[in-house]
Amino acid sequence: MHTTGGRSQPPPRVSEAADAMQMGRYYGEYKAEYQTADGFAALVFAGMLAGGVYGATQAPLKDILVVVLVGGVGGAIGLFWKTVVVLRECRQWVYVFDSGFVYVTPSRMEIVPEARMIGVETRVVRHRDQNYDEHEYTVRLMDGGSVVLTDRFPDVEDLGERLAEISSRARVRNRMAAFRAGEDLRFGILTLTRAGIACEAGILTPREVLPWSEVKEIRQNFGEIKILKKGGWMAWRVVKISDIPDLRIFLKLAGTFLQEEHGRDL
């Protein structure tokens, strides 16, 4: 069971809310935490405040106003602002269950079963000069709301991936049902059809459908999706991941249809 907050079971009100929404088995808790940068920022602002106060007592009368405003007031405002931000952002908890999660702050408890989730948007900013990545996961909800999770959560990558997995289940079921009913499923330039995988026409290539019986493998590698054809030396199509919306859903559905086709070949 995962936990970053030292709690092996959710609070009673969270457990009751999850049970009422039939979210299933409890997975674990994720808690936002203080970061080293918070301490450094607080020290800087506190130093400005102390310097302003000391300077006001030592400076000539005509310079007191400038010293107080620049040092003391600036430091006081910065220290107050940083304290408020840290207290607000570090008092967040996410309790994850098999089919949903509960997001808790001192003023809010968001109960999110998988049916309320549209998807999870991921933003990663790479700071190569400082050798770290900045992460932000935004959970979009059916009612237009959202839950934003950042590196305040020590295991935010694990949390974001787990929530993305949960959110994809309901959409996979819905799109699978539509496919079984005869609907084609479009993912950007790729479309999953009963006949096979269709790829829209490009500048140098016509629209073409690769029958499921001829699909060897769908491979994700280095920011691309490669669709391999049986008996072929090169990929049938190579598509950038950025050109495939709902990539996770596409891979799950295409993988399922491909397994079914291979199962018929046995």
pLDDT per position as a tens digit, 202-252: 666 678 999 999 999 999 888 899 999 998 888 999 999 888 988 889 999
pTM above 0.85, yes or no: no
Pick from 47-56, 178-187, 201-210: least confident:
47-56
Residue 64, CA distances (Å) to 41, 49, 55, 181 in order: 25, 14, 7, 79
CATH of domain 2-33+90-176: 2.30.29.30
Asked if the model's pLDDT at residue 86 lies above 90, the reply is no
Predicted pLDDT at 9: 86
Mean pLDDT of the chain: 79
CA–CA separation, 67 and 101 (whole Å): 50
Asked if the model's pLDDT at residue 2 lies above 80, the reply is no
More confident residue, 228 or 152: 228
Asked if the model's pLDDT at residue 47 lies above 80, the reply is no
Predicted pLDDT at 215: 94
Q: Which of 56, 48, 47, 8 is nearest to 31 (CA)?
A: 8
Residue 82 is encoded by which pair of tokens?
């940083």
- Is the domain spanning 184-265 CATH 1.10.3470? The answer is no
Kindly indicate the confidence band of residue 7, based on its pLDDT and cuts at 50, 70 and 90: low
In whole angstroms, what separates CA 244 from the centre of its chain? 17
